[in-house]
Structure 1
Amino acid sequence: MIEVTHRIHLDPREIKESFIRASGPGGQNVNKVSSAVELRFDAKHSPSLPDGVRERLMKLAGRRLTLGGEIVITAQTHRSQELNRAEALEKLVELIRAATIVPKARRKTKPTRSSQEKRMESKAKRGSVKRLRQSKHDD
């Protein structure tokens, strides 16, 4: 079991890994070795995730989320396949941890009476300055 939080554990069978050739520099090694990792996690149908976490995770995933509800994470920074696997898994775990944080509900607030009065006084002052600047034309 992969521990995300003390309450959420992922079954390794829910994660599918495929190895692809990495792009970028590396000479012949890049052309021969499939060291990049593409990790897929079906967030939409995962039994390990509570509903609220699942919804927030799918929002957080952004363009990494497929139409079928799978999250696709690619790691190719290391030349080693094992290091790329660990990095991709860590990215997934961090994304799920971020989804466990429940955003604070926004409460509507009303401006205080003194702040309203200050605002009206400043508006009146600004209006009087503009009035004084106007030239008086006799037509």
Structure 2
Amino acid sequence: MANEKAVHITDAVSIPMSELRFRFARSSGPGGQHANRSATQVELLFDVAGSPSLSEAQRQLILEKLKSYIDKEGTLHLVSQTYRSQLRNREEVVERFRRLLRAALQVPKPRLPTRPTRAARERRLRAKRRRSEIKRLRRRVPSEVD
């Protein structure tokens, strides 16, 4: 995966690896000397706002749906420090990037309007009549003065 030229998101969208930036740092947590000396944490940076690989509609979808991952400048940040190996963390963060973008670019199907069934309408009206009767019975009874 690390030697691929592009990250395939959907049939229509591929992001060239040249548009992705990676930063490396020391991972937190246990691991002894290996963890203290190795920069195994990987941070993926992707400039959503300035990417030539995305159409304006795709850019807006991503900016809206992934806003918790995107900073003020329009850069998407993803971090992986699951593994002790920098290569595996890099592969994992690229895979997460692929899954997140695929989900963000999914356009929801339009809702088909449906009408309530006859039985549902009748149930609703029966319930309204029952409630109306309960409230009518709560009213004060007019006194019959002769």
Q: Same fold (TM over 0.5)?
A: yes
Deviation by residue 1:4-46 (Cα, 9 ceiling, x = unmatched): 2222111111000010111111122222111000110001111
The CA distance in 2 between the partners of 1:123 and 1:85, in whole Å, is 61
What's the offset of the Cα at 1:77?
Answer: 0.2
For residue 41 of structure 1, what is the aligned residue in structure 2?
46
The CA distance in 2 between the partners of 1:121 and 1:5, in whole Å, is 51
Contact kept? 2:41, 2:89, Cα under 8 Å: yes
For residue 102 of structure 1, what is the aligned residue in structure 2?
107
The CA distance in 2 between the partners of 1:94 and 1:46, in whole Å, is 18
The CA distance in 2 between the partners of 1:6 and 1:105, in whole Å, is 21
> Which piece of structure 1 moves more, 112-121 or 59-68?
112-121
Structure 2 stretches lacking a partner, 5+ long = none
For residue 84 of structure 1, what is the aligned residue in structure 2?
89
Question: CA RMSD of the aligned region, Å?
Answer: 2.5
Describe the SS at the equivalent of 1:79: coil
Amino acid at match of 1:127: S
User: Number of paired residues?
Assistant: 138
The CA distance in 1 between the partners of 2:75 and 2:93, in whole Å, is 14
For residue 54 of structure 1, what is the aligned residue in structure 2?
59
Percent identity of equivalent pairs: 37
Following superposition of structure 1 onto structure 2, how do residues 8-47 of structure 1 map, counting pairs within 5 Å? 8-47=13-52
Which portions of structure 1, spanning 4 or more consecutive aligned residues, are displaced by more than 6 angstroms?
133-138
What's the offset of the Cα at 1:114?
Answer: 5.7
